[in-house]
Amino acid sequence: MSRMLRAWIAAFVLAWPGVASAEDVAIIIANQFYEDYPRVLEAGQARTLEGDLREAGFSVDVISNTRKTASIQEADALWQRMEAADRLVIVIAGHIVDGAGQNWLLHVDAGPVNGLLIGREALPLEPFLALAGQRPGDAIVAIAEAPRPAVDALGARSGFRERGVANGLTVIAGPPGPVARAIREDILQPGRSIAGARDRASNGVRFMGYVPRNKAFVDGGGDSPELLAQIEMLAWRDAQAQDTLEAYRAFIRRFRDGPYTQEALRRERELSLTPQERAQRAEAALGLTRQQRAAVQRQLTLLGFDTRGIDGVFGRNSRTAISRWQGSVGQPRMGFLTGNQVTQIEASAAVRAEELRLEAEQRRREAEERDRLYWNQTGASGDEAGLRAYLENYPDGIHSDEARRRLAAIERDSRRLAEAQEREAWNQATIFNTVEAYRAYLDAYPRGLFAGEANARIQAMAQPETPRDVIEAAAAEEKRLRLNLVTRQLIERQLNALNMEPGRADGKFDKQTRKALRNFQRAAGLAVTGYVTRETTIRLLASAL
């Protein structure tokens, strides 16, 4: 297409439908703000037709809130404008009253009326109807009545009454909104018949007088289908370029049955959605599976936004967590995710998991360094007191097994040297393995060969590393988790991957496994219980990311 032709078509589109002459006139009279009668805010719908009428090529005059004091000069100018028109559209909106044998529009400063006094309080409509009737087929008068009656007096009542319509004149009456819609969406559309407009009009809209089925008020013109298609295509491209609700609505008003109409309607619906509705639709379009949603929940929890469960269902708690995360990264708190946000959460969770792994590794190295230093100060010498001091502070330490082996050897030597009675007493105490049993042994042998061990065991029982109630609660929580064999083996493998030495991954939590769990909990800064709790599981999973 040449640049000149494109410019001509663009100009044609701007003037669409382009068949009206410069002498086509539209008069809009809208009375809204009455002083002594109910306001008719709906009359403002008539004023919205100004742009549509200008698009259709009409020269438009808008008169708002007429008063009884209007000058004769103003009335003369209005009359001359209508008389000179080739085609004429008159839209009158406000309190319409039938009285004294004709119809009237109450002025906004009108007082009480009846059949005798209405002439001084209202504008007569018959002159408008008579003048429009002089243009058969080229004039329309639209009466937009107030939806709520305001006058019921002697000889005067609210509402428009038909008293015969001139040949060739179309009169439309009804509520302001539906009347304006019929004019905008049908009467002013090229090629649409007036009878078709009547058929499509809302309930309460009345068509009177000339209502042809084979003639449109705005002619479709004589342009070729190819040119009209080019015009519609350029208008569609312009609407797409603007991509606004107003642009698509203007396109739909102009081209209601074209090849682009359905797409325009779809974009209009999308742009009419609230931000919350758009966010919800955007997340639904991602098609996240339940497993993917569970992954998001796990990642949010790792980032400190607890979803109160990892089940793959985005309920209220998950939406709250999503909203809080969005706020934390400076994004609108919608509670629904975009594809970019899912990726961002995954990346942030991976970074956080690595941070936790490094922190745990650092704590483990520091703990091992303290462990080795204390071993060198105590148990490395091999004496009983040093070994016991080491085990008291590091019951699951690097050298704990060696310390126990050495102590066992010391105990064996002590048992060989002990007298049979003392050995029997000690054996009895170890069999009972209670504070009372060891105290009974000490009462009998305060300086016995096993006194140190007895005191150590009493102290260990009296002052565990972790309070007894915490350990018992952790054991109960592990029982509630009902870990199956596969899950237990996974936990043992993860402990082994972290160099915690849990023993064989056979799903059986023995002493070696409990020791590995305590070492992991100690490195992770958790309560040291040796049992699998929910928090321990989350941290183990995080270390695997």
- Give residue-wise pLDDT tens across range 42-72: 999 999 999 999 998 899 999 999 998 877 8
Per DSSP, what are the bridge partners of residue 92?
Answer: 29, 143
Where does the pLDDT of residue 275 fall: very low under 50, low under 70, confident under 90, or very high at 90 and above? confident
* Cα end-to-end distance, the chain, whole Å: 59
Per DSSP, what are the bridge partners of residue 123?
Answer: 105
Domains of the chain (ranges; CATH) run: 1-17+222-272 (no CATH), 19-209 (3.40.50.1460), 277-352 (no CATH), 373-462 (no CATH), 468-544 (1.10.101)
Where does the pLDDT of residue 463 fall: very low under 50, low under 70, confident under 90, or very high at 90 and above? low
In this structure, are residues 88 and 132 in contact, taking their beta carbons and an 8 Å threshold? yes
- pLDDT at 274 (0 to 100): 85
Poorest-pLDDT segment among 151-165, 268-282, 283-297: 268-282
C-alpha 514 chain-centroid distance: 46
* 369-383 confidence digits (pLDDT tens): 999 999 999 988 888
* 91-146 confidence digits (pLDDT tens): 999 999 999 999 999 999 999 999 898 989 999 999 999 999 888 888 999 999 99
Where does the pLDDT of residue 410 fall: very low under 50, low under 70, confident under 90, or very high at 90 and above? confident
- pLDDT at 332 (0 to 100): 92
pTM exceeds cut of 0.75: no
Is a pLDDT exceeding 50 seen at residue 6? Answer: no
- pLDDT at 135 (0 to 100): 86
In this structure, are residues 105 and 95 in contact, taking their beta carbons and an 8 Å threshold? yes
Query: Which of 250, 259, 253 lies closest to 232, judged by CA?
Result: 259
